[in-house]
Structure 1
Amino acid sequence: MAKVAFLGLGVMGYPMAGHLQAKGHEVTVYNRTFAKAEAWAAEHGGRAMPTPREAAMGADFVMACVGNDDDLRSVCLGPEGAFAGMAAGTVFVDHTTVSAQVTRELAAVAAAEGKGFVDAPVSGGQAGAQNGVLSVMCGGAQVDYDRAEPVIAAYARICRRLGDSGAGQLAKMMNQICIAGLVQGLAEALAFGQKAGLDGAAVVEVISQGAAGSWQMANRHKTMLADEFDFGFAVDWMRKDLGICLATADEIGASLPITALIDQFYKEVQLMGGGRNDTSSLIRRLTR
């Protein structure tokens, strides 16, 4: 069992930290809104600290799940950042979806200070975090990954190292590219069925058992047909992720024409007031 600090208690981080505590790790949490960290400690045990530095002091591993590149820098760097409280030999594990650039930047800082850094973005959504069955894509030195993997296992269904620093984030970009296309295809199919006068749920029962089946179809078709989207992974966050994908594609010379188009569809959803809706709300463009 390890001493673990967990930074960021959003819809993903809150249950992830809970799984660590439930598996017997000694967990200290930090959240920008300290009251939420105190509420977590009251519910799960463990401790709450008001700064990343204080949370990281004495930890063997520091896990983070925050919002974006700037949020990650803010919890890592500076006099109150986690790196200031981490001892040499400690491993920082970043579950945030961020750019590979900031990952490599922070990994270099950590290495210069004798600390490990593993980029480990996750897929599986809020339900995956709550049920402890996330898919975790990792990058970093093999020795750091080997140390961190048994701790990550507290909330992972699968965890794999895919290469050096930044590889985890690049794999997460591939994940988001795939999801964007799947959700748009599902939205178009369901809207088509409605226009044709078919029972969408009955059709999905059949086609989900064939080649068209997907996680999105199985888990989102009912709420899409019911026009319910006040849950799940927000459109605002998906646009952040797709922005990272598109910027990286420009850097490496990759072509993402469908991703770029769907990003603009999500922009339309934002302009309709749906920025906090689940990503499956793409269908609203087609049925309004």
Structure 2
Amino acid sequence: IKAETLAEKNLIYNTSECDQITELSSILSESRFNEVQARLRSAGMRSGFCCIFYGAPGTGKTETVYQLARQTGRDIMRVDVDKIKSCWVGESEKNIKALFDRYRNICKNSKLAPILLFNEADAVLGVRMEGVARAVDKMENSIQNIILQEMETLEGIMIATTNLTTNLDKAFERRFLYKIRFDKPSVESRAKIWQTMLPDLSEHDAHILASQFDLSGGEIENIARKHSVNAILKGNDSIDVHEIINSCRHERLSQNNRPKIGF
């Protein structure tokens, strides 16, 4: 994914996430990154940057990678793990090795090292299994071992995104230099997201929606998109707050997002 094709998007973070992402963005800038890598090499340390963004779905992990790439002018080599896996014995291991070989070649021929993005990497970051007998389990362990070895010698930038929060293999945990947890947005952050997604929404209504519905940024964006579709169908751009409320109530299939008493 070319950096120049990435659209700018205003992401709203909680304070702790914002500070860490701002710091990472600064480090990944061309001049600062070269300086940091040179210092690490002179100290005999690994110069590669491996980061993990983890937390609940819809909290902006993948979009944050896109925005970091856009801000720092770095292309993205996106990896969808499921597409690498093969039903043929040994093919998955060859695919993952070829992936890292390709990334190394791209880095050698690029002014800026691209970001190697392992998106939704839950399948390869879990605890490795011991005493496995099934071929598929052996394959999973082999893939994990190859990735761990490659992370040791990586000279570029690798970012993994995952919803995994409790079952991360300790070997992976040690190799990630930056570990940024993406929490559900606070009430204040949700209100800002509502107003970013629906600029015509009043500050008062945005705060009420944020207070009563514990939605992620992705869920709020989904509702905003639904509003845009309805506006086209009805030929009316005005915001019907009751319609937005109804959309909030039905956003989650589990129906566990009912508003608090007193809405």
TM-score surpassing 0.5?
no
Higher CA-based Rg: 2
Higher relative contact order (CA 8 A, sep 6+): 2
Q: Structure 1 length normalisation: TM-score?
A: 0.27
Q: Structure 2 length normalisation: TM-score?
A: 0.29
